[in-house]
Amino acid sequence: MQEFQVLGITLKDYSAREAMKLVENYMSDGKISTICYLTAGGLLEAESHPETKDFLGKMDLTVAAQPEVLTASSAQPRSRIREVENNDFLRLFLHRMIRGGAQICLLSDSQESLTRLKDGLLSYQAGLRIVGTYLIEGEDQDIDTLINDINVAAPHVLISDLSYPLRERFFTDHHMKLHAQIWLMLQKGMAIEKHGMTLGQKIRGFFDKRALRRTVDQYRRQEEKQEEEVRAKEEALLKFDTQEIDTEEIRKALGEKDQQI
């Protein structure tokens, strides 16, 4: 595990196998554990919205969905980059769910997204036990009834792809009511299809990555400017203190000279 900061956001990055060891603990610790995928676009959202930044800090585990999430801060081993490019964690996670006979529920905010989510997951593991699919359709919806329906299905794992700010608010208000062992949150629009990204995903990913690089560069320049300002103030204070000491010493010397006279 390594800890680093991007845009003022502290992230802990685990290799795919390290993350799977945590998953094993989550499956047996008796409470709902939260795992959130993070894309370049998701980092930009967190930089712009304090609600998202606070939300990410409350996750039990964050997983990079794109190499740029890791390389935006520092150089990374090629082996770790390949893990992210190949989506190794999702592959291992879904394989573990099949091996353990885990029941899975899916949650989204539109029928189109729900269909894409289901098809994408099944492209990785055709044998997933999906026991329920659910939609958050609007503000007038009875969320308590929705949560009850999910709990009645008795899933071990809930997988969602909710958009901002619905994801953050649903988590804050309701995650402790869910009886699942793990809530895996995929970033809206991230590529989960085993056989490649759609053209729309490629275009969006390209612009998100470019925007992240530009924002990180601007953030670093701002940090460097603030550091320079702090150093300048410290040097000015030090110079002022030195002048005060020199003045006091002169006064003492003059006082001693007057006494001698």
Residue 77 confidence (pLDDT) = 82
Most confident listed range (77-86, 191-200, 228-237): 77-86
pTM: 0.77
Domain extents for the chain?
Answer: 2-199
Is the pLDDT at 204 greater than 80, yes or no? no
pLDDT of residue 108: 97
**Crossing angle (nearest 10°) for helices 40-48 and 199-260:** 50
In this prediction, residue 197 carries a pLDDT of 54
Please report the pLDDT score of residue 43 as a whole number.
83
How far is residue 34 CA from its own chain's centroid? 11
Mean pLDDT of 113-132: 93
Q: Is residue 261 scored above 50 in pLDDT?
A: no
- Summarize pLDDT for 237-249 with one digit per residue, the tens: 676 655 555 555 5
Q: Is the pLDDT of residue 208 over 90?
A: no
189 burial level (CB within 10 Å; 0-12, 13-18, 19+): buried
The pLDDT of residue 10 = 81
Nearest to 159 by CA among 190, 204, 203, 137: 190
106 CB-near residues (< 8 Å, 6+ apart): 114, 117, 118, 121, 130, 132, 133, 134, 158, 159, 160
Kindly list the distances between the CA atom of residue 243 and the CA atoms of 229, 230, 233, 258, in Å, as whole numbers in the listed order.
21, 20, 15, 23
How high is the pLDDT of residue 205?
A: 55
Residue 221 predicted with pLDDT over 70: no
Amino acid identity, position 214: R
Q: H or E segment at 129?
A: strand 129-135
Class of the domain covering 2-199 = alpha beta
Q: What is the pLDDT of residues 127-172, one digit of tens each?
A: 999 999 999 988 789 999 999 999 999 999 999 999 999 999 999 9
The rounded distance, in Å, linking the Cα atoms of 134 and 110 is: 9
Residue the block writes with tokens 């969602």: 160
For residues 254 and 260, what is the distance between their CA atoms, to the nearest angstrom?
A: 10
